[in-house]
Amino acid sequence: MVDQSEDRSTVLAHDDVPLPVPALRWEEPPEGPVLVLIDQTRLPAEEVELVCTDVPALVEAIRSLAVRGAPLLGLAGAYGVALAAARGYDVTDAAEQLAHARPTAANLAHGVRRAERAFRAAVDGGAEYEEAAAVTLAEARALHREDAEASERMAGHGLALLGELLPGGGYRVLTHCNTGTLVSGGGGTAFGVVRAVHRAGELRRLWVDETRPLLQGARLTAYEAAREGMAYTLLTDSAAGSLFAAGEVDAVLVGADRIAADGSVANKVGTYPLAVLARYHHVPFVVVAPLTTVDLTTADGGSIELEQRPGHEVTEFAAPSAPGAGAEAGSGIPVAPLGAQAYNPAFDVTPAELITAVVTERGVISPVTGDALAELCAAAPPP
């Protein structure tokens, strides 16, 4: 297969893009179906669409973080299998490539396998190839709808939880990485709750960690917060400690990439130190994630595979046209001596005992234990 990704290089005017920004969509031009992504490596400098016409292009978009964030990775995976089916590629091979494009977010393999199962069931049931491809696309679309619904439910549950934890309202919320419309078929995970708090008139301030080294907080969360008209302030990750010490944080809200059976949470690197700070300063630390992020087959936090990213993401600041993610080594401005080694895990693990509550579309667990998580996963979905 040839990499046929095409950079549509549409620079979209801010006012032309209503919220929510569609982070990903399926299109069927006469040349054949494509998956259109907002290239998140170029935000906020440019709003550029990336058109993926085949699976290698999509795998590259996932690896370079053009498309990113756990729930959206699930959708990209499912649509990727649909793309392979629709274009007559080897679906098994496509599913393997997509499922392993990044290791940590449980949603990616979940979306891929769900679409692959739908394709396989259709073929085994005697469907013609075209029909099986249509069934696969319908499954990806169903996941997309469910993810949007999950966002809405999580926002409602999260808002109610904050009301219980912090009577009085007027919250100053700290968040890390990017968890809004850009990572979801709907309004997002932690940022979805922040938006609900904002719309309820109860958001006094959103503290946005810049999220080193690829700046998902500065580039993406600040971008979403600005569009929502929120009162937000950006800080370097290392400034969070002094903010807690000054009593300026009422709650921490973050997303998750994988929740293990013991309730441990893998999320963007820098999440664990925030949980430690929150515990020390008696501030609620809340994780917001759909059930597609829960992986009961991974026993505990130590068993979660944490992605290691290239060192140049730490040793170089990217050129302005490539604000961080996806940039080639040597294309940025060096901020360390040539040849410096860098430790660059993309995620860390927060143990359940440091988490006040996990908010899902099916409800909230608090305290966070393996038993509570298993019970929630076994419960019937809401009507």
Annotated binding-site residues for substrate read: 68-70, 102, 216, 267-268
Closest approach of ligand MRU to the CB of residue 268, in Å = 3
* Helical segments of the chain, H only: 55-63, 70-86, 91-99, 106-124, 129-165, 190-199, 216, 222-228, 240-245, 271-280, 312-315, 370-378
Asked if 183 touches ligand MRU (CB under 6 A), the answer is yes
- Identify the three-state secondary structure at position 185: coil
- Please compute, for residue 216, the number of CA atoms within 13 A of its CA located in the half-sphere on the CB side: 26
Piece of the chain touching ligand MRU by CB under 6 A; list 69-77, 108-116, 126-134, 368-376? 69-77
Piece of the chain touching ligand MRU by CB under 6 A; list 1-9, 49-57, 63-71, 142-150? 63-71
Determine contact, residues 214/325, Cβ cutoff 8 Å: yes
Asked if 216 touches ligand MRU (CB under 6 A), the answer is yes
Which residue is at the shortest CB distance from ligand MRU? Answer: 255
Asked if 278 touches ligand MRU (CB under 6 A), the answer is no
| 257 classed as catalytic | yes
Piece of the chain touching ligand MRU by CB under 6 A; list 23-31, 61-69, 139-147, 222-230? 61-69
Asked if 261 touches ligand MRU (CB under 6 A), the answer is no
Asked if 215 touches ligand MRU (CB under 6 A), the answer is no
Give every strand in the sheet of 357-360, ordered side by side: 232-235, 203-209, 171-175, 251-254, 285-288, 357-360, 363-365
Q: How far apart are CA 357 and CA 316, in angstroms?
A: 37
Cis peptide before 284 (omega within 30 of 0): no
Asked if 268 touches ligand MRU (CB under 6 A), the answer is yes
Asked if 70 touches ligand MRU (CB under 6 A), the answer is yes
Beta bridge partners of 365: 358
* 21: nearest Cα among 293, 233, 223, 292: 223
Closest approach of ligand MRU to the CB of residue 180, in Å = 8
Residue 70 vs 249, nearer CB to ligand MRU: 70
Q: Which of 186, 255, 284, 301 contacts ligand MRU by CB under 6 A?
A: 255
Q: What are φ and ψ of residue 244, in 5° steps?
A: -60, -45
Piece of the chain touching ligand MRU by CB under 6 A; list 52-60, 62-70, 146-154, 294-302? 62-70
Burial 322-337 (b: 16+ CB within 10 A, else e): bbbbbbeeeebeeeee
Q: How far apart are CA 255 and CA 200, in angstroms?
A: 21
Residues 336-365 contacting ligand MRU, CB under 6 A: 346
Closest approach of ligand MRU to the CB of residue 73, in Å = 7
Residue 77 vs 135, nearer CB to ligand MRU: 77
Record the tokens describing residue 71, joined without a space: 């729930």
- Identify the three-state secondary structure at position 25: strand
Q: How far apart are CA 323 and CA 327, in angstroms?
A: 8
Task: Write down the catalytic residue from 54, 257, 295, 348.
Answer: 257
Asked if 136 touches ligand MRU (CB under 6 A), the answer is no
> Length of the chain in residues, anyone?
383
Closest approach of ligand MRU to the CB of residue 179, in Å = 4
Asked if 275 touches ligand MRU (CB under 6 A), the answer is no
Residues 139-178 contacting ligand MRU, CB under 6 A: 177
Could you list the residues known to form a binding site, using ranges.
68-70, 102, 216, 267-268
Whole-number CA gyration radius for the chain: 20
Closest approach of ligand MRU to the CB of residue 184, in Å = 7
CA 296, 301, 302: angle at the middle one, nearest 5? Answer: 120
Q: What are φ and ψ of residue 158, in 5° steps?
A: -65, -40
Residue 71 vs 119, nearer CB to ligand MRU: 71
Piece of the chain touching ligand MRU by CB under 6 A; list 31-39, 122-130, 144-152, 249-257? 249-257
Closest approach of ligand MRU to the CB of residue 54, in Å = 22
Applying CB under 6 A, what is the total number of residues that bind ligand MRU?
Answer: 17
- Return residues touching ligand MRU (CB under 6 A): 65, 68-71, 105, 177, 179, 183, 189, 216, 255-257, 267-268, 346
Which residues are marked as active site? Answer: 257
